[in-house]
Amino acid sequence: KIIQLKRVLHPLLLVLVFTLSQCAKKGRPSGGPKDEDPPIFLTADPPYGTINFDKDEIKIYFNEYIKLKDLNKQLIVSPPLNPENPSLITPQGSPSKFISIKLLDTLKENTTYIFNFGNSVEDNNESNTLEGFKYVFSTGSYIDSLTLKGGVKNSFSSDDIKDIKMLLYRLDSSYTDSAVYNQKPSYVASTLDTSRFEFTNMKEGKYFLMALKDQASDY
């Protein structure tokens, strides 16, 4: 399906567009009832939303010890990086008060990048989840801001479809019908264990939207 992103997004065939919202939760003093609050993001180095990004390492700090669960499934980097030079992300297997991301791939110029951790960030003691956490930066002079949200249904049964990768290919002068086979998508999102997806921090333009059942993230 071809879509055009401007200030208004049009409905897609078999894609239901809706609005999501989140509420922040405040921390609970130590020694009180059982901790049911997720970790709280404190700061990052470079800061969240940095422009003219030129670093090779990112550190993201939280108010308590955290662990990363199912990172290989949950983490979506958009635009995707070269799988031959994957980012090194810690902690993995041990708790920490920060996430470290070491970038090994060369970043594109004038591009907004999103590291979407999905629901992988949990506190170390009670496994409370920080849902939908992401880190955003741009190698250019501004952060792209367009958003596309929706849900995926089976065209025959109208049943929700879960655990689907959603791929967007930019329709520009370089696009051909074979692009979905030999080019990386411009943006990637995932429905994870729901039927809902969200693209954020996108450039204005026309895109081809594709749904893919790909457990190996080989796109």
pLDDT tens-place string over residues 104-153:
999 999 999 999 999 999 999 999 999 999 999 999 999 999 999 999 99
Q: Which domain holds residue 91?
A: 2-18+40-212
> Is 105 contained in some domain?
yes
pLDDT for the residue 166: 94
Polymer length in residues for the chain: 219
> Is 219 contained in some domain?
no
* Paired tokens of 89: 């992300």
* Paired tokens of 68: 């990363």
**How many whole angstroms separate alpha carbon 46 and alpha carbon 61?**
11
Task: Tell me the three state secondary structure of residue 73.
Answer: helix
Let me know if 152 is exposed, middle or buried by CB neighbors in 10 A (0-12, 13-18, 19+): buried
pLDDT for the residue 193: 83
**Residue 45 burial (CB count, 10 A):** 12
pLDDT for the residue 100: 98
Q: In which residue ranges of the chain is pLDDT below 70?
A: 1-32, 214-219
Give 67's strand partners: 122
Q: How far is CA 2 from CA 9, 87, 165, 198, 219, in A?
A: 12, 31, 17, 17, 19
**Residue 62 burial (CB count, 10 A):** 20
pLDDT for the residue 31: 58
pLDDT for the residue 3: 61
> Is 166 contained in some domain?
yes
Q: What are phi and psi of 186, to 5 degrees?
A: -70, -35
* Paired tokens of 21: 């919202």
> Is 205 contained in some domain?
yes
pLDDT for the residue 4: 62
Nearest CA-CA partner of 16 in 144, 161, 206:
161
> Is 86 contained in some domain?
yes
pLDDT for the residue 218: 64
CATH of the domain at 104: 2.60.40.1220
> Is 50 contained in some domain?
yes
Q: Is the dihedral angle over the CA atoms 214, 215, 218, 219 positive or is it negative?
A: positive
> Is 30 contained in some domain?
no
**How many whole angstroms separate alpha carbon 122 and alpha carbon 196?**
21
Q: In this structure, are residues 159 and 65 in contact, taking their beta carbons and an 8 Å threshold?
A: no
- Specify the number of domains making up the chain: 1
> Is 10 contained in some domain?
yes
| Sheet strands (E) in the chain | 2-5, 15-16, 41-45, 57-68, 76-78, 88-90, 96-102, 112-116, 121-123, 134-138, 146-152, 165-170, 187-190, 196-202, 205-212
